[in-house]
Amino acid sequence: MRRTLAAVVVLALLAPATAVALTQKQVSRDLTRQMKLAGPSSGAYVEDVQTGVPVFGSRATIPRITASVQKLWSTAAVLSTFRDRDRLTTAVLKDHPISIDGTLEGNLYLRGAGDPMLTTRDINDLAKQIQRAGILRLRGRVVGDGTAFDAKRGLASAGFEPTPDVPPLSALMIDRGQIREGVIGYQRHPARFAAQTLARALRARGIDISRRATTGHTPLLGLAIASVRSPKISHLLKLQNVQSDNYIAEAFLKTLGRAGGATGTTARGAAVVRRIAGRRFGARPTVVDGSGISRGNASSPRDIVTLLVRKFADRAFVRSLPIAGRTGTLTHRMRGPATYNQCRAKTGTLDGVSTLAGYCGTLGGQTLAFAILNSSASPYAAHIIQDTMTSAIARYDP
């Protein structure tokens, strides 16, 4: 404990007061010093984005636990599968025609598409659209269809049960699984809860519904009469990465697992991420989940930097990351004169693990991509090491 505190004091004294430019040799020297303090369970790699020239490496090819830096791999996979302006659509479909007097003899199907931001307000919007479609009486049921995803509500690392970090995973769920605002606990059956909410909204509009809401599959020949769309994929990814939102990341992973019409599962989504990482980036990360919660997720610093370099031209990818000293998980970090507003990076934290990977604009006008993976370390001490390293990276001027 005394050694850790002493190292923290030393690192604080090493932090520069002003942004003084450093040569490549000086940057390498400073980063080497910090990696010695980090210990042998850590690795790092830095590369010039424009030239591809390596700037620094330390145990750069050894895979290590990624924590939430894992979200970089799932982000890249989502942007390789969807356009950044695409949206996820939650729809209401009917299986019978509406009679002249406004009666629907069949069911209304509320079909989820994995929108992680679906809310009660969206359900009320759907009810308004249904009323405008001319339905006055529903003789069938409101059927919640969450079958686009499997029925496992959590991750394997949590026994497939929801946790405070990951609310119930469902293709059809409103309000991130909250029963209602201010109430502790999650919806036990998210698709049914959403269907019941829609039924109440319809009754509030004067539509007569005689039967209880339930769950089931939407028929293939169902006709859509109402829909709401999620924010753009690029915006969802920004929400995911700036605040390191595990729920959005895991919902996206199951959405990736729906390729080819299959039911979305965590395992299928992880397979998609691994395939894209290999084919597009020549990398072999270990992918267990989309958020980085599992300690089984692993990647080498060099592979992560390769991903960052190749995705630098993708504005949606880069803009999804927190800005140093300003936003999300970096609001109170990297606030030095060289790094403030000049770096974007994804953070990651687990017990004994702290990671950081992203980009820094340098005093010399370059952009450097970096990955720093610290294991067997206090997150507090690791943050100081990482912030000191990024300060040196941002002062790079060859």
Residues 203-251 have pLDDT tens digits of 999 999 989 999 999 999 999 999 999 999 999 999 999 999 999 999 9
Give the dihedral of Cα atoms 114, 231, 318, 315; nearest 10 deg: 120
Beta-bridged to residue 143, according to DSSP, are 109, 214
- Residues of CATH 3.50.80.20 domain(s) within the chain? 89-230
Q: What is residue 55's predicted lDDT score, i.e. its pLDDT?
A: 97
**Closest C-alpha to 47, from 363, 385, 388, 360:** 360
Q: What is residue 35's predicted lDDT score, i.e. its pLDDT?
A: 97
Strands of 213-366, DSSP E? 214-215, 223-229, 298-299, 343-350, 353-361
- Residues of CATH 3.40.710.10 domain(s) within the chain? 2-83+236-394
Q: What is residue 17's predicted lDDT score, i.e. its pLDDT?
A: 54
Of 137-141, 175-179, 289-293, 389-393, which gets the smallest average pLDDT? Answer: 175-179
Residue 18 has a CB neighbour count (10 Å cut-off) of 8
Structural element, H or E, at residue 109:
strand 108-111
Q: Could you tell me where the DSSP H helices lie in 228-265?
A: 233-242, 246-256
Query: Is residue 14 predicted with pLDDT exceeding 80?
Result: no
Q: Is 147 helix (H, G, I), strand (E, B) or coil?
A: coil
Prediction pTM value? 0.91
CATH fold, domain 2-83+236-394, is: Beta-lactamase (3.40.710)
Asked if residues 73 and 277 have their Cβ atoms less than 8 Å apart, the reply is yes
Beta-bridged to residue 56, according to DSSP, are 46
Q: What is residue 157's predicted lDDT score, i.e. its pLDDT?
A: 84
Q: Could you tell me where the DSSP H helices lie in 109-155?
A: 120-132
Structural element, H or E, at residue 374:
strand 367-375
Beta-bridged to residue 375, according to DSSP, are 353
Task: Indicate the CATH number of 89-230 among 3.40.50.720, 3.50.80.20, 3.40.50.150, 3.90.76.10.
Answer: 3.50.80.20
